[in-house]
Every structure is written in C-alpha cells, then in structure tokens.
Amino acid sequence: MKSNATAQAVAELAKVSQSAVSRSFTPGASVSEDTRARVLSAAKALGYRPNALARSLITRRSHIIALVMGYLENQFYPLVIQELSQKLQRQGYHVLMFITEAGEPTDGVLAEILQYQVDAVVMASAMLSPGLARQCADTGVPVVMFNRVPQMSSFAGSSTSSVTSDNRRGGRMVAELLLARGYRRIAFLGGLENSSTHRERERGFNEALAEAGTAAVGRALGHYDFERAREATRELFSGADKPDALFVANDHMAIAAMDVLRQELQLRVPQDVGVVGFDDVPQAAWGAYQLTTVVQSVEQMVDATVDVLHEQMRDGSQPRNVVIPCRIVERATVRSA
Amino acid sequence: MKSNATAQAVAELAKVSQSAVSRSFTPGASVSEDTRARVLSAAKALGYRPNALARSLITRRSHIIALVMGYLENQFYPLVIQELSQKLQRQGYHVLMFITEAGEPTDGVLAEILQYQVDAVVMASAMLSPGLARQCADTGVPVVMFNRVPQMSSFAGSSTSSVTSDNRRGGRMVAELLLARGYRRIAFLGGLENSSTHRERERGFNEALAEAGTAAVGRALGHYDFERAREATRELFSGADKPDALFVANDHMAIAAMDVLRQELQLRVPQDVGVVGFDDVPQAAWGAYQLTTVVQSVEQMVDATVDVLHEQMRDGSQPRNVVIPCRIVERATVRSA
DNA sequence: CTGAAAGCGCTTACAG
DNA sequence: CTGAAAGCGCTTACAG
C-alpha cells in the first residue's frame, strides 16, 4: 500500500548510485545532465519524492517554522496565518501551528516545538515567558514576537526579536484626531494590562492628551474578548460624567463597544460618541460599523517578520526590533471636521 | 550555541546504553525504575529532548497532520484551525498548515505535503482534484475532506473520507422557515457552482420550495467573497420583481448582502426582506446583524474529523462520510410568526 | 562527474 | 531488564 519509493529504489532503476539520486534532487550539486535525466525519469516512474524528515536530520534544517497563537477570534490573526504561511511556502518553508490553551505557552508545548527541530518560532497573540525565551536561545532557535514586544530587562541575552507597528505613535494620532474633532471627554477601553500593544497604545494616547492639557475621563479593560469588551463599555458609561468618545485598543473590541453603545445605550455614533479602534481588520469596513481606526498592515508586518526570520536563521545575528509606521483610516465613527 | 544534546550524550552521563535512554522516553518500554530515573535526571541536566524527526524516520509516523486551506476570510475556517489544532495537540499530533493560492492545491504543494511524511491530510476550504486524491491514496496517506465532499465517481478507490453537516437538510429548513413566515419571493445567493456545500444547500432549498408548489425567484453567485456577494445582491434586486427574502449560502456573504440591502437599497430587514445565512460564525450574532442562520457546529465537526482521522490512520479502513445534523438559530433577520 | 562509506539521531528486534 | 547492532532515508566529505 504505502508505495513510498526510496532513493535506493530509484538508484537501482536508473542504474546509478544512491548518491547520484540524492544529487539530482539537490540544487547546485554536481551531476551530469545525462544522469540527472535518467534519475528524474526513474523517480517519476516510481513516484519518488525525497523524504524531508531524513533530509532534515542530516542538514539540520527542517524548514519548519513554529507559529504560536493564543486565540483566533480577532480576525487580525487569521490574516497573519494566511500571509505568513503563503509567504513562507513560496520560499520552501512551512508553518507548524501551535495553539496555546491559556494564552501563554507552557513548557510542554515549547518542548514539543523544539522536538520537531523547527528552524525558528514566531509568537503571535501569545506571550513567551522569559524562561521559555531563554530555553529557545539556549537551543539556538531564533524567536520573533509578532505584534508584541518582550519585557525588555528579563530578555537580555536572549535572541528574541520583534515586529510591531508604531503603537505609541498610533495612540497619539487617535488622541489628536479626537481632540481636533471636538471630543472632550475621552475614555480608553484597553485590552490586557500586561500586553505590550495595550501599554504602548495607551501611553501614546495619554501623552497626547496630556500635551493638550487634558486627560482620559475613563478607563476599562476588555481583555481582548468580545463579551468582556461589552461589559467594559457598560462600565465606562455607568457613571455620571459619561465619555463622549472611546479609544478602543483593537477593532475586535471596538465593534463590541459599538453594539452596546447603539443598542443598549441608544447612543448615536459619531454624534453622541466617537469611536476609534486599532488594526483595521476587514470587519471594521463592514457597512454596519464603518469604524475609523488605526491601520496595521498585516502584509508589511509579515514581510518584516520573514526578513528578520531569514536574517536570524542565517547568521544568528543580533535580535532586531522592527517598528512599522501606522496611519489612521477615517470612516464614519468620528464626526468630521 | 545549538546545545542539542543527543541520546548518546545522555547515555554517557547516565552511564547506560543509548538504547536505555531511548526506552526511558518510550511509554511502555521495558526499563527498570532505577535506570529510567538516572536517565531522566541526566536528560534534564543536559536539556535533552528526543529528536522527533529521527524518531519519525524509524517509526514511520510523523504525528504531523497537514491542514490545507484556501482562504481564511470566512471566520468559520479560523475556528476550525483553532479547534482542530488544539484537539490534535492534546493527543500528541501537530498541524502543518498549507494555504493554497488559487483555492486548489497544485501538484507542487501536494508533493511538499507528502515529502514531510504527514500521517494524514485534512482539506478544508480547498478542493482536492481526483488526481491528487489518487496520489494520496497511492502513498497510503488518508485524506479527510472537511465541510466538503469529493465528487463521488472520480474518487472511487481512493481513501478520501469526509465530514460535513447535513447541508441538504439545512437548505430545506431554510425554505420551510421562510415560507412559514410568509415570504413568497425567495431568492438564492450561492457560493461557487462546483462547491459541494453550495450544491447541497441549494438542492435542499429548492426541493422544499418545489414541495410547497413554488420556486426560487432569483439566483446569483457570490463566490464566497465579500465584495462579489455585494454585487450579487445588487444583481438580485435589479429586476422588476424583487425578492422579499434571501437564502445566502454562508454567513460571510449574508452579511455582505445585508450591508447592500440596508445601505444601498434602503430596505429594512426583516420587514422588507428576510435574510438567512449558513454557518453561524461569531459575527452572525453581532448586534448590527443578528443574523438568523443555520448552525454548523465546528466542535462537532472537528470531533468527527479527529475520529475519522484516527480510524483511518490506525487501520486504513474504508473511507467514511460523516454527516452532522444542523439546526436553525433564529435571530432578527426573519420576521416572527 | 561519480560511487563507496560514514553518519544524522533515533527505535527495535535479538541475545543474554 | 539490558546492551550491541542493524537500519530508517537521506547528505556529504572523500577519493578517484
């Protein structure tokens, strides 16, 4: 049944050595046109394809990249899977998916990742503890954080790179836009306290507010979860001095917030309250939401990630932290000038 | 740098043979408690983990499952990735992602899949041509189609299983619901002509309509694409005799249709036109859409897939075609009784 | 350009 | 229970 032809079988049929078969499938190896042709035709006859596992054992490169993710509800991440796998595939690499259960990979999944001899790991929508990062570094497998940044101090000496957009700048831009459009009681609906995107976005936002001589009138956490973002919105609007605008740390939660605003609180967007998100997922453009948001280009971020990956895999050079510029796309959730 | 300890190194440290090391990491192998303990502690000291690639070479089981997908825009598929990887991980298997560029895997990607010696392949949101299916069968790797069914005739003799919901029954239920609620000019907004979900859903829908002595008043194709679904909606409403209800082949397109209905055509849902989708993706429940739809349980489908996978990997038994029941969840896009 | 040989890191009969 | 040995399917010096 399993008709897995081996290089040996091909060699016999083609009447050459097994080494010749191997060379015929190795780009740049020295084989004459003639033998390569004979080998290739024998291989085709037998349905032979080199065993990638055996090859990896020798070459010490599996051409497998581990992609670790915590949750895919936020459409941003599926897009990352798609872009990253496609780009990597075109270059002969493949993605081994790891979905963490609790948001943070355990020693267990890390061990498995390492057992599969992956050439590198990219962490997206999941955090790597300093201990695990160290373990990767010790094994020599480069890790790049996608859309998050390691806690600096504890990662000294590890080979953890990162690719993020300019979250701080994005946060600033949101505050400036909202202020310019006359909103005065602006609240922040964040994600998770220990998330670097959350922190940087809030920081830039608060800085710009402070420079304008004001401050946020409210703050609540949605934990990057749809339902909890709804609750956070109710919380923000439960007091006496209600916000007239919301900066939400990502689109996924911004949409949840809009649902509550319009349907439970009977508030009009953008007249009664302005809303700005972050990411620009496809849903942000849907007719019923038309969310004004900060654009993070998945494509640019993935391109940068792949560059860093190659660089790190090639020469294990110093870790890099790439920051991609972002911009606001105005749709219909902030009133016009 | 790469401190990849080998079994040999552990053996030396623990003063046992390399076989003993191997046995200590093989569940059920015969090793005394004493040597196993010595091995484990030596392994820990060296940071040793068995090389999964080398193991696979011998055991002929990689514990890798290939997951082939065409596009992830429709949120249904990310959920499948998540459920499937998690479930498989818990059982010691891992998912190697393959994203096809054109919707159909080429010989190229199939060859790569096979080179990695995957234990099985699941095809979701991508079709396998009969030729490729045959190739998998020849190699003895089981394939299961997820949410789609192979074209019967040409797959005779191949080991292609499938897991789908009862799409035909789902289509019937939609027609019956719409009719019961007084809609009389019902149109169908389909996906792709050669997609089995599209065909079965339309078939059940048409059958129920026919039994009620009526027929669809319109039909257009959205190609499972958001923008093209918008166009299809415009097309459906461009004639004189406009539909008063739409059965859309999936939620992703149903949402696109609702945007056009409400914002371009100024039609009210469900008063002027009823809308029913299929899948019950999370977005269907969003406040702005509240789509009445047919529920496909990702969890049940994934459970069934994993069962079939194990069955096929174990004894290469006859291919199976599992059909999961579905049901309608009523929200706000069909008027009430 | 070519083949024989060593070896990648393991598992698994085979004897003891 | 244990070790020596063969072997999984390849790549890659090494000679020729």
Does an H or E element contain A190, and which? Answer: strand A186-190
Tokens of A314: 């090639």
The average pLDDT across B179-203 equals 95
Residues of chain B in contact with residue A67, where contact means CB-CB under 8 angstroms, are: 97
Whether residue B172 is predicted with pLDDT greater than 90 in this model: the reply is yes
User: What confidence score (pLDDT) does residue B156 get?
Assistant: 57
Q: What digits encode the pLDDT tens for the residues B58-93? A: 999 999 999 999 889 999 999 999 999 999 999 999
- The CA distance from B293 to B295, in Å, is 6
Residues of chain A in contact with residue B283, where contact means CB-CB under 8 angstroms, are: 283
State how far residue A285 is from chain B, nearest Cα, in angstroms.
11
* CB of A63 lies under 7 Å from some atom of strand D: no
User: What confidence score (pLDDT) does residue A153 get?
Assistant: 53
Tokens of A118: 């992956």
Sites in chain A below the pLDDT cut of 50: 1-2
User: For residues B239 and B232, is the Cβ–Cβ distance under 8 A?
Assistant: no
- The CA distance from B176 to B169, in Å, is 11
Q: Between chain A and chain B, how many beta carbons pairs sit less than 8 Å apart?
A: 156
CA-nearest residue to A119 within chain B is B2
CB contact under 8 A, B288 and A283: no
User: What confidence score (pLDDT) does residue B155 get?
Assistant: 55
- The CA distance from A302 to B274, in Å, is 41
CB contact under 8 A, B112 and A99: no
* Sequence-separated (6 or more) residues with CB below 8 Å from residue A213: none
User: What confidence score (pLDDT) does residue B2 get?
Assistant: 47
Q: What digits encode the pLDDT tens for the residues B204-261? A: 999 999 999 999 999 999 999 999 999 999 999 998 889 999 999 999 999 999 999 9
Q: What domains appear along chain A, each with residue ranges and CATH number?
A: 7-50 (no CATH), 62-165+298-323 (3.40.50.2300), 167-296 (3.40.50.2300)
User: What confidence score (pLDDT) does residue A279 get?
Assistant: 97
User: How many angstroms separate the Cα of B27 from the Cα of each of A38, A304, B24, B119?
Assistant: 45, 42, 8, 20
User: What confidence score (pLDDT) does residue B157 get?
Assistant: 57
Whether residue B262 is predicted with pLDDT greater than 50 in this model: the reply is yes
DSSP output for B107-123: HHHHHHHHHTT-SEEEE
The average pLDDT across B46-59 equals 95
Whether residue B6 is predicted with pLDDT greater than 70 in this model: the reply is yes
State how far residue A226 is from chain B, nearest Cα, in angstroms.
10
**Confidence grade of residue B263 (pLDDT, cut at 50, 70, 90):** very high
Strand nucleotide closest to residue A21 (CA to C1'):
D10
Fill in the DSSP letter of residue B156.
T
Q: What is the mean pLDDT of chain B?
A: 92
Starting at the edge strand that comes first in sequence, how are the strands of the sheet with B321-324 ordered?
A321-324, A160-165, A143-146, A120-124, A64-69, A94-99, B94-99, B64-69, B120-124, B143-146, B160-165, B321-324
Considering only CA atoms, which of B108, B105, B109 is closest in space to residue B129?
Answer: B105
User: What confidence score (pLDDT) does residue A129 get?
Assistant: 74
The average pLDDT across B44-63 equals 95
The average pLDDT across B95-103 equals 87
* Sequence-separated (6 or more) residues with CB below 8 Å from residue A256: A222, A226, A227, A229, A230, A233
User: What confidence score (pLDDT) does residue B170 get?
Assistant: 98
